Amino acid sequence: MKVAFVGSFSTGKTTLANLFAREWELPLLPEVAREVVELGFPLDQSATAETETLIFLRQWIAESAHERFVADRSLYDVLAYADWVMENQPERKENHLWRASREIATADLRARYDHVFYLPIEFPIVLDGLRPDDTAFQADVDRRIKHLLDSHDVRYDTVTGSVEERQEQVRKLAGRA
């Protein structure tokens, strides 16, 4: 089973992914953006085509290395952030790196995961030392993720409410209640 929790930053993806990876005894895929930041690459509004391409490649490799997993980020998240960067940064020849990666990423978005759980923005942003305190950026990323899911006809379930309510919804939707 391949499970992806998707949504903008500070929506509870990591909390649920950690819980269900343990509960279902599945590998938890790391948030590759954190690894890329540790290498010295800028993130979010300061990111570059090189940053986004590296994040995509690491996400692709992590997902390809496991037949079963729980991910608190997915290719949908990677695409949403990268598309924001490409639209809001000056055009550079390095942007072709991302465009080529995007072609690969969008080739099979519909069939990539067994369960996709979309987490809408419901809580105030929790500063984690990585993401910005920018509700407009958070909302834009959220809109982009929803657009990707809908425009690629991805089957997903929206889960809302408290952590406990979300857990119960995920269990039922995944047939593990």
Report the C-alpha gap between 156 and 162 in whole angstroms: 19
Range(s) of the domain holding residue 16 = 2-173
């080739």: which residue's tokens? 107
pLDDT score of 113 more than 70: yes
pLDDT interval class at 23 (50, 70, 90): very high
pTM, two decimal places: 0.93
Q: Residue 51 sits in a domain of what CATH number?
A: 3.40.50.300
The confidence score (pLDDT) of residue 165 equals 97
The confidence score (pLDDT) of residue 177 equals 57
pLDDT interval class at 131 (50, 70, 90): confident
């599945």: which residue's tokens? 26
Q: How many domains does the chain fold into?
A: 1
Report the C-alpha gap between 115 and 3 in whole angstroms: 5
pLDDT score of 106 more than 60: yes
Q: Is 4 helix (H, G, I), strand (E, B) or coil?
A: strand
The confidence score (pLDDT) of residue 24 equals 96
**pLDDT tens for each residue of 39-92:** 999 988 889 999 999 999 999 999 999 999 999 989 999 999 999 999 998 999
pLDDT > 90: percent of the chain = 80
Report the C-alpha gap between 56 and 61 in whole angstroms: 9
Please state the φ and ψ torsions of residue 174, each to the nearest 5 degrees: -85, 0
Mean pLDDT of 144-149: 96
The confidence score (pLDDT) of residue 116 equals 96
pLDDT score of 147 more than 70: yes
What would the DSSP string read from start to end of 34-102? HHHHHTT---GGG--HHHHHHHHHHHHHHHHT-SSEEESS-HHHHHHHHHHHHHHS---TTHHHHHHHH
The confidence score (pLDDT) of residue 137 equals 94
Mean pLDDT of the chain: 93
